[in-house]
Amino acid sequence: MSLAITGVSILILTFLAHFLFWYNRVPNRGLSALLLVWSLQLYWFQPAQWYMDFASAGVAFLVGLVAWKLRIISASETKLLLVAGLLLGWQGSLMALICLPFVMLVMNLAMRLDKRVKHGHHPFWRRLRILKSRHKLPHGIAIIFATMVASVAKLAL
């Protein structure tokens, strides 16, 4: 994975995280853009085990389907797992899988420890209070952050 492709994918993932926080869904146009980035990466770099990207995406999608059936994540976050599995490949998916519980733990601890959530008047803090009161903090933000970390780690390898 090159630096340019990693940068573009991180920009798209940042857009997806922003949209997910404010509207509580992942837009299909962002997922389509990530699929385009994956196809460009596949065309230019032609990895030896490109078919393993499909296997890692399939496993991520099956895990997402089970979590969706259990009502842990939404359907748009399941699609996000599929595209993240394609984009990262099997090595990056393993890194994201290892990183994901730590990201979710830090995210939940930050929600409990931050005092500004109760008193802040900025629209960000108000939206965070609404999400916290409904117990619907999107897990997709943690998935996106773990994907970002794994793509940077994959770039370094």
pLDDT digits (tens, 9 = 90+) for 16-68: 999 999 998 899 999 999 999 999 988 888 777 778 889 989 999 999 999 99
- Higher per-residue pLDDT: 79 or 49: 79
Which pTM was predicted? 0.87
DSSP string spanning 52-106?
HHHHHHHHHHHHHHHHHHTTSS-HHHHHHHHHHHHHHHHHHHHHHHHHHHHHHHH
